[in-house]
Amino acid sequence: MGAAPPTILIVDDTPENLTVLGELLQPTYRVRAANSGRRALQIAQASPTPDLILLDVMMPEMDGFDVLAELRASPVTQNIPVIFVTAMDGTKDEEHGLDQGAVDYITKPIRPGIVLARIRTQLELKQSRDLLSHQNAYLEEEVARRMRENQLIQEVSIHALARLAETRDPETGKHLRRTQEYVLTLARGLRQHPRFAHYLDERTINALAQSAPLHDIGKVGIPDHILLKPGKLTPEEWVIMKTHAELGSNAIAQAEADAEKPVEFLSIAKQIAHSHHEKWDGSGYPEGLAGDAIPIAARLMALADVFDALTCKRVYKEAFSFERAYNIIVEGSGAHFDPDVVASFVRDYEIFMSIAKTYAE
């Protein structure tokens, strides 16, 4: 079964003109007719939308220019090609019509061969434009689909790596998801803050969320007798335990070096892995960085990681109450943590508790 013929809307307030045009076009096209501008707009909005409109200029109430202006103002009709049909013989009127968006101008009395040729030309142009538009829409959707697919592969790969670190420490099953949500909460809470707005745009916040699960990837390099020790570590064991920050950042740096071009989330993941045990007052590790020298991503992760460690059971401790954990975090403002990050935690504390309960062990 062949495709339906193109639909042409003819608009003229004179019945004889509608009849002449209708008889000329009906053998080839599906023809619809309107005897006023208002009726033409109603038909143009209905389905099937006309492929082309032959529009008389001189009509009562709404002339052709008024009709064209309304057609162009509506998303449904703005791309329908319009050919003006008029008895006027003036280049100024013709220029005005073309300036308003008409694609062509036919003068009365009409000459059938010219009318059919111009209609055929405009329909072919419209078909080409529609085809190009559909191809562009398909390509845009295909690009978006592949980006979503790549994003999913990336996220699965990140979580697979992070789970590898987790397998060494079976008591932290949902630690990754909780800390990821805590970091997201802090980032969103600080997005408009003068000290953080330059950094925390939507793209960076998304990269932060991707990066967060890799913060302890370096623990794969810590021996079991230290990582899983139920009691307090000896000074010698603690020195080894602290190396997980550099082990992690070095591994991510190697992944960066293997990539053909910079990967934003890897850069942030490296900062987090390396510096999330730094403290605001400079007493942390591995570099002893202080204040704003600590990357913002690592400052957010520091609070998220400590809150999770406090509120969950570990091999070396029982879980603290939310109230006790809250007090420890607040007391750490200006010492362990950036004061503005703590202020964000205080503002969104209810969200933190909700995340803790939603992803409880």
Contact indicator for 31, 8 with CB cutoff of 8 Å: yes
Q: Are residues 127 and 186 in the same domain?
A: no
Residue 9 has pLDDT above 90, yes or no: yes
Q: pLDDT-derived band of residue 173, with 50, 70 and 90 as boundaries?
A: low
Higher per-residue confidence, 200 vs 361: 200
Task: Give 308-337 as a 3 state SS string.
Answer: HHHHCCECCECCCCHHHHHHHHHHCECCCE
User: What is the domain extent for residue 86?
Assistant: 7-138
Q: Are residues 238 and 116 in the same domain?
A: no
User: Is residue 305 included in any domain, yes or no?
Assistant: yes
| CA 339/CA 260 separation, integer angstroms | 38
| CA 92/CA 166 separation, integer angstroms | 78
User: Is residue 148 included in any domain, yes or no?
Assistant: no
User: Is residue 160 included in any domain, yes or no?
Assistant: no
Q: Are residues 203 and 314 in the same domain?
A: yes
Q: pLDDT-derived band of residue 169, with 50, 70 and 90 as boundaries?
A: low
Q: Are residues 134 and 214 in the same domain?
A: no
User: Is residue 241 included in any domain, yes or no?
Assistant: yes
Give the per-residue pLDDT at 350.
Answer: 97
| CA 174/CA 119 separation, integer angstroms | 66
**Mean pLDDT along residues 321-335:** 96
Give the per-residue pLDDT at 31.
Answer: 93
Q: Are residues 83 and 41 in the same domain?
A: yes
pLDDT tens column, 230-248: 888 999 999 999 999 999 9
Identity of the residue numbered 258: D
Q: Are residues 117 and 195 in the same domain?
A: no
Residue 82 has pLDDT above 80, yes or no: yes
Name which of 49, 57, 48, 144 is nearest 97 in CA terms.
57
For residue 317, the cross-strand partners are 314
Q: Are residues 121 and 228 in the same domain?
A: no
Cα distances (angstroms) measured from residue 251 to each of 77, 80, 217, 284, 303: 57, 58, 8, 21, 23
Higher per-residue confidence, 196 vs 101: 196
User: Is residue 145 included in any domain, yes or no?
Assistant: no
CATH number, domain of 258, equals 1.10.3210.10
| CA 320/CA 351 separation, integer angstroms | 18
User: Is residue 155 included in any domain, yes or no?
Assistant: no
Give the per-residue pLDDT at 12.
Answer: 92
pLDDT tens column, 186-226: 999 999 999 999 999 999 999 898 889 889 889 888 898 89
Give the per-residue pLDDT at 91.
Answer: 59
**Mean pLDDT along residues 171-179:** 76
Q: pLDDT-derived band of residue 90, with 50, 70 and 90 as boundaries?
A: low
User: Is residue 157 included in any domain, yes or no?
Assistant: no
Higher per-residue confidence, 148 vs 304: 304
Give the per-residue pLDDT at 88.
Answer: 64
Give the per-residue pLDDT at 148.
Answer: 78
Q: Which of 160-174, 191-205, 318-332 has the lowest mean pLDDT?
A: 160-174
| CA 278/CA 284 separation, integer angstroms | 4
Q: Report the domain count for the chain.
A: 2
Give the per-residue pLDDT at 152.
Answer: 72
Contact indicator for 58, 87 with CB cutoff of 8 Å: yes
**Mean pLDDT along residues 278-295:** 97
Q: Are residues 197 and 322 in the same domain?
A: yes
Contact indicator for 355, 308 with CB cutoff of 8 Å: no
Q: Are residues 53 and 107 in the same domain?
A: yes
Q: Are residues 91 and 184 in the same domain?
A: no
Give the per-residue pLDDT at 175.
Answer: 84
Counting beta carbons within 10 angstroms of the beta carbon of residue 61, is it exposed (0 to 12), middle (13 to 18) or buried (19 or more)? exposed
The vertex-114 CA angle with 113 and 117, nearest 5°, equals 85
- Please, what is the average pLDDT of the chain? 88
Name which of 59, 64, 54 is nearest 106 in CA terms.
54
| CA 169/CA 156 separation, integer angstroms | 20
Q: pLDDT-derived band of residue 178, with 50, 70 and 90 as boundaries?
A: very high
